[in-house]
């Protein structure tokens, strides 16, 4: 584990999730995009831009919201009532069209469990359900970033990892 990272026990997850849920309440979706395959990036709140320097010394503008949800290696579905709108296995066109409809919606409820399930409900009644995958790979299941300050990730090992700037860890 690197400086600035803490592996959380399952007992620590509920209090942290309560804090996150309170912060996310009423945040609007400002960007929702599909990346490679069915990887999702959903940005909440105001978007700001920072310059990132790549290993080859090139500068790259990186935009982040007040909160960013990255769903990498997990199963997900977008549900309204009892109807599945789309999921990780839907066509790219269907996913993209439905993600666009999320923009402007506000968060009305957040539920994250110690086993890695994550539900986020929006003002239009839609529910984004993220289920941990049983497959293991190099990527995280999902990560929730608070600007560039810290993140909470469900790793493929099933562990939650809280990452924060190293200067806070000393």
- Could you tell me the residue ranges of all domains in the chain? 5-46+61-169
65 or 64, greater pLDDT: 65
pLDDT mean over 48-62 = 72
Task: Report whether pLDDT(136) > 70.
Answer: no
Instruction: Please give the average per-residue pLDDT across 94-109, as a whole number.
Output: 96
- Is the pLDDT reported for residue 169 higher than 50? no
The secondary structure of 1-52, three-state, reads CCCCEEEECCCCHHHHHHHHHHHHCCCEEEEEEECCCCCEEEEECCCEEEEE
Q: Is the pTM above the cut of 0.85?
A: no
């Amino acid at each position: 584990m690197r400086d600035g990272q803490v592996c959380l026990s399952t007992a620590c997850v509920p209090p942290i999730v309560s804090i996150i849920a309170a912060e996310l309440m009423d945040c609007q979706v400002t960007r929702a995009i599909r990346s490679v395959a069915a990887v999702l990036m959903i940005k909440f709140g105001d978007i700001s831009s920072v310059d990132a320097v790549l290993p080859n010394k090139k500068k790259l503008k990186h935009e982040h919201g007040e909160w960013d949800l990255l769903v990498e290696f997990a199963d997900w579905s977008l549900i309204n009532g009892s109807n599945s709108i789309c999921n990780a296995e839907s066509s790219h066109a269907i996913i993209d069209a439905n993600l666009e409809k999320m923009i402007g919606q506000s968060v009305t409820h957040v539920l994250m469990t110690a086993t890695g399930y994550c539900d986020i409900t929006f003002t239009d009644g839609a529910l984004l359900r993220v289920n941990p995958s049983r497959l293991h790979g190099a990527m995280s299941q999902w990560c929730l970033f608070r600007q560039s300050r810290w993140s909470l990730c469900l790793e493929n090992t099933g562990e939650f990892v809280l990452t924060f700037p190293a200067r806070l860890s000393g």
